[in-house]
Amino acid sequence: MTVEKINTPCPAFQDFVPQAGLNPWLKLIIGIMLILTFIFGIGSLAQLIPGARHMAYVIDEGNIDATAVYYTDLEEPAEGSERIRDSLDYLPGFKP
């Protein structure tokens, strides 16, 4: 083997062309601006949905954590879980 064969460039890298287009930082800034536009621009249009104001009022007045996965501080989920538990413990027609 000769030194010339080892040091020859690979044909895949001979015609390397840098990516044409926008700078990656500019793409990042444009992406962030689009996300903020959707959140604050289009997301604010959700207030125009019928019933959204009433729902927001009920959430505010009831001091409800709307992002909670399970509501432990409200009466309705407690009643619902009791009914489920009772219906599983006392199946209709089941005589032990």
Q: Tell me: the pLDDT tens digits for 70-96? A: 666 667 777 877 888 888 787 776 665
Supply the pLDDT for residue 54: 85
Residue 54 lies in a domain: yes
| pTM for this predicted structure | 0.38
pLDDT confidence tier of residue 5, bands split at 50, 70 and 90: low
Please count the structural domains in the chain. 1
Residues sharing a CB contact under 8 Å with residue 46, sequence separation 6 or more, in sequence order: 52
Residue 76 lies in a domain: yes
Supply the pLDDT for residue 35: 94
What's the domain range around 60?
22-88
Q: pLDDT tens digit string along 20-34?
A: 667 888 999 999 999
Q: pLDDT tens digit string along 14-68?
A: 665 566 667 888 999 999 999 999 988 887 887 788 888 888 888 888 887 777 7
Residues sharing a CB contact under 8 Å with residue 2, sequence separation 6 or more, in sequence order: none
Q: Are 53 and 47 in contact (CB under 8 A)?
A: yes
Mean pLDDT (whole number) for 1-20 = 58
Measured between alpha carbons, how far is 49 from 37 in angstroms, rounded to an integer? 19
Which DSSP letter does residue 74 get? S
